[in-house]
Amino acid sequence: MARLPRLIIPHLPHYVIQRSSNQQAVFQDSADYAQFLSWLKSGARQFKVAIHAYVLLPDQLHVLATPADATGLGQLMQWLGRYYVPYFNQKYGREGALWQGRYKTSVIDAEHFFLLACHYLEMVPVRAGLAAGPLDYPWSSHAHHAGVQPDAVITDHALYWALGNTPFDREAAYLRVVEQGMGSSQVKAVEQAVLKGWPLGSDAFKQALELKMKRQVLPAKRGRPRKIVANNE
């Protein structure tokens, strides 16, 4: 099945994942993580991309972000590569590509799936066996959302702010979300959407995207292609 073109929509959150080539470690010490986060912070401001959550694993990175326009997210990812790959190659005496092809992304139905996506992202190190709990892993945004350590990389999403009237209320409410855990069907839904480039949202959200963008946003079903018709046609 042909791969759908990447879908980037301004002012909507996107779940982005980038994996290393051949599962090699792209972050080998604390200086690597810190340097990448410094560039992530600078690049996000330069290209007008709000970073809501992130986690850096030894061989991959996950980011939840909202771009202000249709090009900023792609420019940010390219910019990070132009800075980080030469830094890494020079430091470790290597040559060649570092990342596994192009990054993958999924547009998020914020109202129904933003907190789920944020929770999923910050639990990646736990599911990977790298930490007993999300607070035990230092290279993620969880400490920020839990109120343990403010993170200058993060721009809080409006739905995080809506969790409470004070920082303490928001942090406590977010931790309750984390304590509730995620079902296997929820984990699978996020994984499939991100890895296959599908939107993560309700059926109504997906249909609205197709009408707005006048293009297919999900793989076509077997048989004749479905015609997308706008309401005013």
State pLDDT tens for residues 44-72. 999 999 999 999 999 999 999 999 999 99
Distance from C-alpha of 140 to C-alpha of 134, rounded to nearest angstrom: 8
For residue 210, tell me if it sits in a domain. Answer: no
194 neighbors 200 (Cβ within 8 angstroms):
yes
Give me the domain span that covers residue 184.
14-199
For residue 214, tell me if it sits in a domain. Answer: no
Q: How crowded is residue 51: how many other Cβ atoms within 10 Å of its Cβ?
A: 23
Instruction: Please name the residues in contact with 137: beta carbons below 8 A apart, sequence gap of 6 or more.
Output: 55, 125, 126, 130, 131
Please count the structural domains in the chain.
Answer: 1
Residue 92 burial (10 A CB sphere; 0-12, 13-18, 19+): exposed
**For 126-155, what is each residue's pLDDT tens digit?**
999 999 999 999 999 999 999 999 999 999
Q: How crowded is residue 166: how many other Cβ atoms within 10 Å of its Cβ?
A: 8
- Whether pTM exceeds 0.75: yes
The domain spanning residue 111 has which CATH number?
A: 3.30.70.1290
